[in-house]
Amino acid sequence: MAILYVTDQGATLTKRGHRLVVEKQGRQIHWQHAFKVEQVILLGNITLSPAAIAFLLQEGIDTVFPSYYGKYRGRLVAHLGKNIDLVGGSLPPWQRSPFASAWPGLISRGKFITAGCYSAVRTGSWVARP
């Protein structure tokens, strides 16, 4: 999978069908099929059309917005990545079990109970909590 860098200042990234198209001053200067792109990096003053934003989110293509000099500004990330099924399948069975999904909640609950008891001991008003 490729990373699409757009560096021409004043360019616009748009969508046409299942292609990402870079235009500058009304003429097409580059295009790439979306299935070949895993990330888009827009360096500097690049315009992103609303249709392209929706398409990038729908396809799970990560979009990064650094400044022209490379300082990180932000990113546009879809809810799930393109390869989320591969990541889930690569986890060991003990991390996919029901216990694994309940474990963080149990830890948090224990911390809250401990913190509540500790503050009660410090103030001198011990109250038994379930």
Task: Taking residues 98-122, report their average pLDDT.
Answer: 58
Quick one: fold of 2-85?
Answer: Ribosomal Protein L15; Chain: K; domain 2 (3.100.10)
Spatial separation of the C-alpha atoms in residues 63 and 29, rounded to whole Å: 20
Given a cut of 50, whether residue 122 has pLDDT beyond it is no
Phi-psi region of 74 (alpha: psi -120 to 50; beta: other; left: phi over 0): left
Residues near 63 by beta carbon (within 8 Å), at least 6 away in sequence: 39, 40, 41, 42, 48, 56, 75, 76, 77
DSSP 5-52: EE--TT-EEEEETTEEEEEETTEEEEEEEGGGEEEEEE-SS-EE-HHH
Report pLDDT digits (tens) over 18-56. 999 999 999 999 999 999 999 999 998 999 999 999 999
Which sequence spans correspond to the domains of the chain?
A: 2-85, 91-123
Q: In 67-97, where does DSSP find H-type helix?
A: 84-89, 93-96
Residues in the chain: 130
pLDDT at position 2 is 87
Task: Taking residues 111-117, report their average pLDDT.
Answer: 59
Report pLDDT digits (tens) over 65-106. 998 888 899 998 877 555 555 555 555 665 556 655 666 666
